[in-house]
Amino acid sequence: MEENTQINNYYIPPEKTLFETDSRDISAACAALVCAFLSVIWGFWGTFNIGWAVSYTVFFVCVTVYLVRTAHMQGEKKRMPIFAFVCGGLSLALSLNFVLCPDELVHLLSFAVMLALGIVWFIALSGRELSRSDVYFARQIVSLPLFSVAKMPKSIRSLFTVKDGRGGKMRKGLLGALCAVPVLCAVIPLLIRSDAAFEGLVGGLFRNLGESVFKAVLTVIIAPFLISFCIILRRGDKAPREEKAAKGLDTVFLSAFTGVLNLCYLVYLFSQLAYFFSAFSGILPKGAKSYAQYARRGFFELCAICGINLCVFWFMLVFARRREGKMPAVLKGQGVFLSIFTLVITGTAISKMVMYIGRYGMTVDRVYSSAFMIFTAVVFAAMFLKCFFEKVPVLRTALVSAGVVLLLLGCLNTGALTARYNVSAYRSGKLKSIDMQYISSLDENGIPYLIELADDKNAGTAKEARYVLADVLPIYYTGDYDGNGKLSANGMSYCYFRPDGKKVFNAFYEMNIPRYRLYRLADEFLEKNPGFYETASRGRAQDAVDSVKNID
C-alpha cells in the first residue's frame, strides 16, 4: 500500500508538446527562408541600400498576409488600435531611407527603429494586446525576438508534424533531396564537359566559393529565427500577462538624487542671467571674443546634457514608488523642474545652432544634433505630462517620434541638404567662402553640387571645384571589365565597363537614388568636357609654376 502511495505521489514532469502547425505555417516558413536569403544577398551584401528596402518590404508583407489570413480563417475580428497602424506604416516607410539617403548613421538608426516598430505591428496583428505600461511595453518588444530564438528548435520540429499530412511529405522530400546528392556528384562533371556555357556558370560559382559559403551560412543562421518568429506570432501564448506594479525605489533616495542634479542646473541658470535670452535674438553678448565662439560653444555639450537628463527622468518615472498609482508630489516637482530646464536649454541650443549655421554654413553633424534636440524636446514634453497624467505613454511617444524624425532625415537626405544649403548660401553672398573638400566628403550627396560649381560664374570657384572633381570622380569609375562581367578594381565604384566601352552597374541592390543621380550628372559633365582630367592636371601644373614665380 505504501509503495502505491509513493508511486502516486512521485512528480512526473509535463511532456513538452510541439506547436500545432498546418499548411499555412509551412508556407510562412518557405517565405521566411526566401526572405532570409534576400536579406543576406540584397541587404547585407548590398550594404543596406535598395536591396535591404526591398527584402524588408517583402518580409513585412509576407508576415502581414500570413497573420491576416490566419485571423480571417479563424474568424477573429479583433479591432486593431490606431497606434499599431501608425507603427506599421512608419516601419514600412523607414525602408525608404535606404533608397533616398546613403548616410550610414541614418541607416543604422533606421534599421533599429524600423524593426522595433515592425515588432509592435506584428504583435498587434497577431491578436495580442499592447501594454499601456511603458515597462511592460518595452518587455513586449524585447521578449518576442528573444522568445523566438529560444523556441527555434521547437518551431522547426513542429513543421514536420503538420496534422494534414504535409509534415510527412516534408520529411520524405528532404530525404529524397539528400539521396539525390550522390547522383548530382556524377551528373554535374558530365554536364560541365558537355557544354561551355554551363562550365562557365559552374566555374564562376567555384571562383567565389568562399563568398557563396559565407552567404549560405548567414542564410542558415537567419532563416530559423524568422521561421520561429512567424510561428511564435501565430502559435505562441497570446494571453495577456499580469502586470504587477513594481515596488520601486525609496522616495527619499530618488528625491535626493534628482535634487542634487536640479540644484546644479539652478546654479547654471543663475550664471546665464547676463545673456541667457540673447541666444533667441541673435545679438552677440558683451565680453564674447567672437560671434562663432558664442554661437558654437556648448551646443554639443548641451546635447549630451539632454541625453543624460532623458535617462535620469526615465529612471525616475520607472522606479518611483507610487502611492495609489500616483507619483509622490516631491518627485513630481523634481521632474517638472528637470523637464522645464531641459526644454529651455533645448530651445537655447537650437537657436544657437541656427545662428551658427546662418553665419558659418551647415554640416551634417549640426543637422543631426538639432534633430536629436527636437526628439528630446518631444519626449520631455511627454514626460512632463506624465507627472500629472499617469496614462501618458512616454515610450510609445518616443518610439513614434524617433521614427518620424528619422524618416524626415532620410527623406530630406541630410548630406544633400547640407551641400545644397552651403552652395545656395555661397552664391547668394550669405557665406563668404565654401569648403570644397567638405562638400566632396559628402560623396554622392555632395559631388553633384561640385559639378554645379564647376560651371560657376566665379572663375576661381569653378577652377577649385574642377580640381576637386578631378580627384574624386575617378574613384567612382575604377571598375574594369575582367572578362567575366565582374568588377576587378573595386574602390568605391559601383560600375564596370564592358569591352565595347558601355558602363554597366554592378547590381541594383547596391544602388540608391543619390548614387544614380551622381552617375547621371557625372556622365553628362564628362561628356560635355572631353579631356577633363588632362585639362585639370595641366591647370594644376601651371598654378604650381605660377606660385613658384610669385615666390621668386
User: What angle is formed at CA 49 by the lines to CA 48 and CA 55, rounded to 5 degrees?
Assistant: 75
Alpha-carbon distance values, 16 to 19, 154, 157, 339, 525 (Å): 10, 9, 12, 51, 68
Radius of gyration, CA atoms only, the chain: 31
Q: Over the chain (552 residues), what is each successive 10-residue block's mean pLDDT?
A: 46 61 84 91 85 94 89 65 94 95 93 96 90 86 91 86 59 67 75 72 66 84 92 78 62 84 81 52 49 60 82 82 74 86 84 81 88 90 86 91 96 94 90 89 91 90 90 71 42 57 69 88 87 82 67 58
pLDDT at 407: 96
Question: What's the confidence (pLDDT) of residue 549?
Answer: 62
- Contact call for residues 31 and 231 (beta carbons, < 8 A): no
Between the CA of residue 390 and those of 324, 340, 382, 384, 549, what are the distances in Å? 11, 18, 11, 10, 77
DSSP class of residue 443? G
What pLDDT is stored for residue 417 in this prediction? 94
Q: Specify the DSSP class assigned to residue 249.
A: B
Q: Give me the pLDDT at residue 2, please.
A: 47
**Per-residue DSSP letter, 490:** -
Give the pLDDT score at 93: 96
How do residues 200-227 score in pLDDT, each as one tens digit?
A: 666 666 666 677 788 888 998 999 999 9
Q: How many CB atoms lie within 10 A of CB 202?
A: 14
Q: Which residues contact 166 (CB under 8 A, 6 or more apart)?
A: 23, 26
Q: List the one residue out of 441, 438, 439, 378 whose CA is nearest residue 408.
A: 378
d(CA 264, CA 73): 61
Model confidence, pTM: 0.82
The predicted structure's pLDDT at residue 60:
96
Grid coordinates representing 330 are: 516631491
C-alpha cell at 135: 515597462
CA distance linking residue 478 with residue 153, whole number of Å: 47
**First CA to last CA distance, the chain:** 118
So where are the chain's domains? Answer: 23-235, 251-412, 442-551
Q: Do 362 and 418 meet the contact criterion of CB atoms below 8 Å apart?
A: yes
